[in-house]
Amino acid sequence: MQLSDCRVVLTGATGGIGLALVEQLCEGGAQVLAVSRQPDALAALVARYPLQLHQVSADLRTSAGRQAIVEAARHLGGVNVLLNGAGVNRFALLEQLDDAEIADMLAVNLVASLQLTRALLPILRSQSHALVVNLGSTYGSIGYPGYAVYCASKFALRGFSEALRRELADTDVNVLYVAPRATRTRMNSSAAMALNEALKTSVDEPQGVAREVVGAIRRNLNELYLGWPEKLFVRLNGLLPGVVDRALRKQLPVIRSFIQLQENPPR
């Protein structure tokens, strides 16, 4: 797709990757309907792209919030790209999370994306060509200690993307699943970032991830996995999960130590 032809609904627009996507999409000539509960964070970009950047403040977890997005999309004259980018995370063992935290992570990362996609499908299907982009994670293919609920949401989002692509195969709507690796955003706690450093895990900048996503939209891809050796680990986990099991078991003491440090910081 040519960016100048894109009219994009982007959720999670004020997150690290979201802000970078807003800027790069607008730079490329796209019309962007940015969805966020923190619209003030977009003020500078709205001033720079007043004719291209539109905002709607909405809670994706509510029916009223999703309906506000649909109405804003109609007011824009219809949209041909839905980019489900909203997400939350907490670096913790499963037993440290309460019911509300689990429910909220699944609601934002998974359920809201399914419900918003369903709500916008009639508009997307009315376009000559349309695209649903689901922003997943390497952890949507590799279960990792300390991220059990986040992994559950991203595994499900990957499955949703695959099934929806096949469900819409005889329409003009395509589905792109993007799996970034660790990225330097506010969503990652200082303990999570310290663990990445201790394990020498590569961490991408949001601007680089956004460039890859925009490139995948231009090329009309179905899937995009970012980072090396992460792409190799994804393939290895699918073919020889026992090898990955043994490698991650060795890392467990280190992972638990950083979670413990996060829960009980030194005084």
Q: Is residue 125 part of a domain?
A: yes
Q: What is the span of the domain harbouring residue 236?
A: 3-189+202-240
Tell me the mean pLDDT in the region 55-65: 96
**pTM for this model (two decimals):** 0.94
Task: Evaluate whether residue 134 is within a structural domain.
Answer: yes
Walk across the sheet containing 223-225 and list its strands: 53-57, 31-36, 7-11, 81-84, 130-135, 173-179, 223-225
Q: Is 265 part of any domain?
A: no
Q: Determine the pLDDT at residue 263.
A: 72
pLDDT of residue 37: 86
For the chain, the domain total comes to 1
Question: Is pLDDT larger for residue 262 or for residue 91?
Answer: 91
Report the mean per-residue pLDDT for the chain: 95
Q: What is the pLDDT of residues 139-194, one digit of tens each?
A: 999 999 999 999 999 999 999 999 999 999 999 999 999 999 999 998 888 999 99
> Does residue 261 fall inside a structural domain?
no
Which tokens hold the place of 83?
């980019």
In the structure, what pLDDT confidence band is assigned to residue 266 with cuts at 50, 70 and 90?
A: low
- Which value, to the nearest 10 degrees, does the dihedral of the CA atoms of residues 122, 126, 127, 130 take? 30
Asked if pLDDT for residue 88 goes beyond 90, the answer is: yes
Q: Which single residue is written with the structure tokens 């009639």?
A: 122
Would 257 be classed as within a structural domain? no
Q: Each residue of 208-223: pLDDT tens digit?
A: 999 999 999 999 999 9
- Give domain status of residue 195, yes or no: no
Binned at pLDDT 50, 70 and 90, residue 39 comes out as confident
248 falls within a domain: no
CATH of the domain at 61: 3.40.50.720
Domain assignment present for residue 258? The answer is no
- Average pLDDT (40-69) is 95
